[in-house]
Amino acid sequence: MISRDDLRAAVGSGLLSEAQAASLAALADSRRGARENLGPGDEPFELFKGFNEIFIVVGLGILAMGWVAVVSTSMLTGFVNYQRHMVSAAVVGALILWALSEYFIRRRRMVAPAIALSVMFAGNAVLGMTSQFGEIFMIAQGSYSSLPFALGLSTLALAIYWWRFRVPFAMALIALGVFAVSLIWAADNAGAPTDPTDLFLLSANGPFALITLVVGLVVFSIAMAFDMSDPHRVTRRSAQGFWLHVVAAPALVNTIALTLLESDRQILLALVLGLFALIAIIIDRRSFLITAIGYIVALSATVLDVEGTGYGILALGVGLVILGAFWARIRAALLSPLSAVLPLHRLPPSH
The reply to whether 176 and 199 lie within a common domain is no
- 154-168, 193-207, 310-324, range with the lowest pLDDT: 193-207
The predicted pLDDT at position 209 comes to: 75
The predicted pLDDT at position 201 comes to: 64
CA angle 152, 223, 153 (to 5 degrees): 10
| pLDDT of 314 above 70 | yes
Residue 167: name the closest of 120, 115, 116 by CA.
Answer: 115
Residue 31: name the closest of 167, 240, 234 by CA.
Answer: 234
Looking at per-residue pLDDT, the higher value among 280 and 349 belongs to 280
The reply to whether 216 and 251 lie within a common domain is yes
Residue 87: name the closest of 43, 53, 134, 52 by CA.
Answer: 134
The predicted model scores a pTM of 0.78
The predicted pLDDT at position 307 comes to: 55
Residue 269: name the closest of 306, 232, 238 by CA.
Answer: 306
Integer Cα distance of 100 and 97 in angstroms: 5
The reply to whether 277 and 211 lie within a common domain is yes
Judge whether 166 lies within some domain. Answer: yes
The reply to whether 184 and 198 lie within a common domain is no
Fill in the amino acid letter for 174. Answer: I
CA angle 249, 175, 30 (to 5 degrees): 85
The predicted pLDDT at position 22 comes to: 75
Judge whether 345 lies within some domain. Answer: yes
> What confidence tier does 34 reach under pLDDT thresholds 50, 70, 90?
very low
The predicted pLDDT at position 202 comes to: 61
Domain boundary among 172, 189, 206: 189
Q: Is 67 helix (H, G, I), strand (E, B) or coil?
A: helix
The predicted pLDDT at position 342 comes to: 73
Residue 110: name the closest of 67, 165, 66 by CA.
Answer: 165
How many domains would you assign to the chain?
A: 2
Domain, as residue range, for 301: 193-351
Domain boundary among 189, 205, 230: 189
Question: Which DSSP string do the residues of 253-298 spell out, in sequence order?
Answer: IIHHHHHHHHTT-HHHHHHHHHHHHHHHHHHT-HHHHHHHHHHHHH
Q: How far apart are the first and last CA of the chain?
A: 21
Domain boundary among 189, 208, 240: 189
The predicted pLDDT at position 162 comes to: 94
Residue 163: name the closest of 88, 86, 105 by CA.
Answer: 105
The predicted pLDDT at position 93 comes to: 92
Cβ burial, residue 122 (10 Å; 0-12/13-18/19+): buried
Structure confidence by residue, pLDDT tens digits, 59-116? 999 999 988 888 877 766 655 577 787 888 899 999 999 999 999 998 888 889 999 9
